[in-house]
Structure 1
Amino acid sequence: MRDSSLIGRVAIVTGGARGIGRILALALVRAGAQVLITARSPAEIDRTVADARSLAAGACKGMVADVSERRDCEATVAAAERLFGPVGVLVNNAGVGPGSLVPRDAAGTSDRFMDPDPAKRLRFWETDPDACARLIATNLSGVYQMSQAAAGAMVERGFGRVVNISTSVPVMRMPGFSPYGPVKAAVEASTLVWAQELAGSGVTANVLLPGGPTDTAFIPGGDVGVRAPVFAAGKQSAGLEGTNVNRFLLPPEIMAPPMLWLASDGSAETSGRRIVARDWDPDLPVAAAAERAMQPRSAATVVM
């Protein structure tokens, strides 16, 4: 996607040093944006910043930050403004995976939550309490705190894009995925509320998700980066979110085209919506691709 509105636009991508966050950050840099990534690993930040520099397009800086800490969230927004200028895009991607919930002394390994037999998956009372608290603090409170830190100034300026990375609906209510799945459901409910509160301000809030298990470190087993078959987004029937009949992983790169659109001027009339990346056909005109990937509003999401 080539969109001149992204040139020079200042963006923050949390968890932007690896996995989906890294792909989204590099896509924004390629489009000409100025991007600040956050992560907890200095080495991963350095590698991503170096790769971004080699693109010779936009700009990328990185900082160590933990979104579960309010001070870090506020410092991230302040750093982006100091480095590049007013923040126009916030991609809330940082997250802790469900594999972290398996106690060290529990039977099995960290891939127990992926067992095909639901009866063998980790039950909520067996999860590590400290790991649960950290997951909630990162995946829910972190999204809230980063959005709070950025949204006020966006509203004052009359422009902003908040993109919250989510998961498929089946994961939200699947045995063995608590509290990861329910927390993502809470993020989506929050996004809908924020979109209503932001209406008319020039700031939008939307949800973006791959549409199925993705080849990142969140999914244990095998080498990350080589587990996804050739997959053409938007070429299957729409509405297959969460289905994984052949147990294949989606390539995380499918997240970039819809994210760039959500960060652009072209998505100004879209807020409180849910976009499924696997349904985005990059060969269609952008408006048609967005319509295909955007889930219809249900009775529960219609603003009365």
Structure 2
Amino acid sequence: MSSQRLSGIHALVTGSSSGLGYAMARALLKEGATVAISSRGGEKLSKVVSQLREEGFDAHELTMDVRSTDSIHAAVAWVNSHWGKLDVLVNNAGIGMRTVNKKFMFEPKPFYEVSPEGFRNLIETNLTGYFLVARAFAPMMVQQGHGRIINISMNHETMRRKGFVPYGPSRAGAESLSYIMAEDLRDSGVSVNILLPGGATRTGMLPDEYADAFDSMPGILSPDIMARPIVYLSSPEAEGVTGERIVATEFDEWIRTRKSLT
């Protein structure tokens, strides 16, 4: 184990059975946090949590569908009964362009060829899901007088890229949501920040037949790029940091700039 900077911290990471979510959850666990590993559930989630616990980490399995208010309310009840508090909420659960166009990386389709069902499903998960989960857990944090909400996003290029409806709009919406949440909570002791990798990342959002070619492309980031900034944002060092958009690949520069201004 390492320095245990997050001992006593209780965190929930949505969509954390794989990809960015898993990398962030593992980083928090390595620093001593107690972490609820959350996804829609099933054998994959159970196996991931079991493996983490075997390694000695304080990981807990929490089934939650971010599209379902009933499922989210059940998760809030679980956190209340098992922990009695929540220090850190990481909104990460999402689905990618593969759900509307399996060949989106190589054969982008215009927005008018995206089905209404595909559009709604992705927005409901990636944007509405962030809102529903934050809405459910924020009152607990406000009552505590402290808490950290960290919403995961992607590069601005993703929001302008050809063939990226509805994924781009979902992330643009999540960023606007984050900034407004930060203002709404500014006087409550609860911070809201945005964190993104800073480039294309191996996350499993590509269909299997294209994943190998994508993963071997130069410049593809490891999900572990999120480890240091997520630990920082969950730690006492980030007290008072809110309404920030932090790019993981530029984290060192962001920290230096912040220190020079304080």
TM-score by length of 1: 0.79
CA shift in 2, pair 1:51/1:196, >3 Å? same
Give the CA deviation at 1:85: 2.7
- The answer to whether the aligner puts 1:263 opposite 2:251 as a matched pair is no
Aligned AA for 1:89?
A: V
Q: Tell me which of the two structures has the higher relative contact order, counting C-alpha pairs closer than 8 angstroms and 6 or more residues apart.
A: 2
Q: What aligned pairs does 1:213-292 form with structure 2 within 5 A after superposition?
A: 213-220=200-207, 221-223=210-212, 227=215, 247-281=218-252, 290-291=255-256
Q: Which residue of 2 aligns with 1:101?
A: 100
CA shift in 2, pair 1:274/1:96, >3 Å? same
Give the CA deviation at 1:289: 5.6
- Cα distance in 1 between the residues matched to 2:10 and 2:187: 21
The structure 2 residue matched to 1:188, chosen from 175, 190, 196, is 175
CA offsets, 1:256-287, max 9 Å, x none? 11011111121112101001011224xxxxxx
Q: Which residue of 2 aligns with 1:35?
A: 35
Aligned AA for 1:219?
A: L
Q: What aligned pairs does 1:83-102 form with structure 2 within 5 A after superposition?
A: 83-102=82-101
**3-state SS, counterpart of residue 222 of structure 1:** helix
CA shift in 2, pair 1:83/1:177, >3 Å? same
**Unaligned 5+ residue runs, structure 1?**
103-109, 229-245, 282-287, 297-304
Give the CA deviation at 1:291: 4.1
TM-score by length of 2: 0.91
Q: Which residue of 2 aligns with 1:237?
A: none
- Cα distance in 2 between the residues matched to 1:219 and 1:263: 29
Q: Which residue of 2 aligns with 1:169?
A: 156
**3-state SS, counterpart of residue 17 of structure 1:** coil
Q: Is the 8 A contact 1:28 1:260 kept in 2?
A: yes
Give the CA deviation at 1:193: 0.8
Higher helix share: 2
- Cα distance in 1 between the residues matched to 2:42 and 2:151: 24
Aligned AA for 1:80?
A: V
- Cα distance in 2 between the residues matched to 1:140 and 1:129: 16
CA offsets, 1:23-50, max 9 Å, x none? 1111111111111122124111112112
RMSD over aligned Cα, in angstroms? Answer: 2.3
Aligned AA for 2:163?
A: G
- Cα distance in 2 between the residues matched to 1:163 and 1:149: 15
The structure 1 residue matched to 2:137, chosen from 150, 173, 176, is 150
Q: Is the 8 A contact 1:10 1:85 kept in 2?
A: no
- Cα distance in 2 between the residues matched to 1:60 and 1:181: 32
CA offsets, 1:196-255, max 9 Å, x none? 11112111000000011101111342349x926xxxxxxxxxxxxxxxxx7531111010
- The answer to whether the aligner puts 1:49 opposite 2:49 as a matched pair is yes
* Identity, % of aligned positions: 36
Q: Is the 8 A contact 2:90 2:149 kept in 1?
A: yes
Aligned AA for 2:202?
A: D
**Unaligned 5+ residue runs, structure 2?**
none
- The answer to whether the aligner puts 1:114 opposite 2:111 as a matched pair is no
Q: Is the 8 A contact 2:14 2:21 kept in 1?
A: yes
Q: Is the 8 A contact 2:4 2:30 kept in 1?
A: no
Aligned AA for 1:136?
A: I
Aligned AA for 2:27?
A: A
Aligned AA for 1:31?
A: E
Q: Which residue of 2 aligns with 1:137?
A: 124
- Cα distance in 2 between the residues matched to 1:125 and 1:291: 44
- Cα distance in 1 between the residues matched to 2:4 and 2:12: 18
- Cα distance in 2 between the residues matched to 1:90 and 1:70: 16
- The answer to whether the aligner puts 1:66 opposite 2:65 as a matched pair is yes
Give the CA deviation at 1:3: 5.3
Aligned AA for 2:211?
A: G
**3-state SS, counterpart of residue 38 of structure 1:** strand
Q: Is the 8 A contact 1:23 1:252 kept in 2?
A: yes
Q: Is the 8 A contact 1:38 1:63 kept in 2?
A: yes
